[in-house]
Structure 1
Amino acid sequence: MQLAPQAWPHWLKQEPPSPCAQYCRPRRGSSPAIWSYWQWEPGVWVNQWREVCVDEKLLPYFSTLPANVYKVEADKQMIALYWGEKGDASVLKDIDALLKALA
């Protein structure tokens, strides 16, 4: 976990904090998928073009996240989740499960 500065998209309904708590994990595999999704409203995840996420691999994990998880992104090296750090211990378990499964 680290605090990471973010330039949030102007179209988000509520601007998240910057810097924001970033939880990350190294990626596995030789050519993992690269993607970014922002939580537009509770339970609705969109990409940079505001297209709703329909990825059946991601949605079950995204559905476990609270409304104050602002963004989940994956590049070639890391998967990162940006969170407002409010919630009980079960939220941390859900975040850990997502990072492990999608890395």
Structure 2
Amino acid sequence: MTQKRRSKELALFGVRAKTVQPGACLTTNFAARATQGASPDELVPAPYAPWAKKAMDAMDAFTGQELFTQETDVAEAVWRAVHDTPGQLRFPAGPDAHWLAQAK
């Protein structure tokens, strides 16, 4: 079922549904908090180490991107979604999310 259809069905009950779509928020400390300061070598069992290395290499390339979302971008998108009256369903948050939404 599509988001638009679900939103129309919920509207019959006075429920408005919106989706905030953030991009990559590289300015948070999520990874540091998730690992609690431990190195990946300590967290990944030896049999999975080659896979984890590939994933971490890809992450390094990902975190070097020029366009990314900041926390304020998400807050502004939430504000727009809450105060939207025309019925827009999707609210991209951040320059990378806007780029992706336009590419679709």
**TM-score category of the 2 structures, normalised to the smaller one:** under 0.3
The answer to which structure has the higher helix fraction is 2
In our comparison, the structure showing a higher alpha carbon Rg is 2
Higher relative CO (CA 8 A, sep ≥ 6), structure 1 or 2? 2
The TM-score, its normalising length taken from structure 2, stands at 0.25
The answer to which structure has the higher strand fraction is 1
